[in-house]
Amino acid sequence: MKYPIVAFLLSLFFVATCAYVEHSIISHTTPVEYHFFEDEITWSEAQTHCKSIGGDLVRIYDQTTNDLIMAHINASDIGANIDSGFWIGYNDQRVEGTFEWVSGFVCPYENWGPGEPNNNDNLDPSGQDCVQLRKDTAQWDDEYCGEIRDKAFICEVEVC
């Protein structure tokens, strides 16, 4: 099993899941299920896997959604085995400095950590175009998309 899913049900909704799903959470504000993967891979590999299960890398709509996701990460201890954070679906790969969600969703909410985004190009001249949710601060950090720093990831799959 290449991508074991870590999850936890926070809802009384019936959720049809694949045989390899171990844990997931349901958002109470949007009709989506979040799947947490501890495998540390590139951003594009993570997005490809999310697509393969009918979703995208997670969209974080507001502070409530950010808090829900972080509460699960902390309560389930998923982050204990990963380096720094989880890929989310926010990126500026098309236009530097213009961040957008992979789904095309437009939202004014952002949760950058201090000094972020910084497009650091020390390890890759193309800079940092993908975004992680840091497990230690619950804030966002732009990061190298490729194999320089693989991350765990969170998929969002619509349930209705």
Give this prediction's pTM.
Answer: 0.81
pLDDT given for residue 76 in this prediction: 87
CATH code of domain 5-158: 3.10.100.10
Three-state DSSP state, 45: helix
∠99-133-38 over CA atoms, to 5°?
A: 125
Instruction: Report yes or no: 59 and 108 within 8 Å, Cβ to Cβ.
Output: no
pLDDT of residue 3: 42
Residue ranges of domains in the chain:
5-158
| Residue 149 · residue 143 · CB < 8 Å | yes
CB 121, CB 132: distance < 8 Å: no
Chunk the chain into consecutive blocks of 10 residues (it has 160) and report each block's average pLDDT, rounded to whole numbers: 38 30 53 90 96 95 93 87 91 94 89 94 88 96 91 90
Report pLDDT for 19.
30
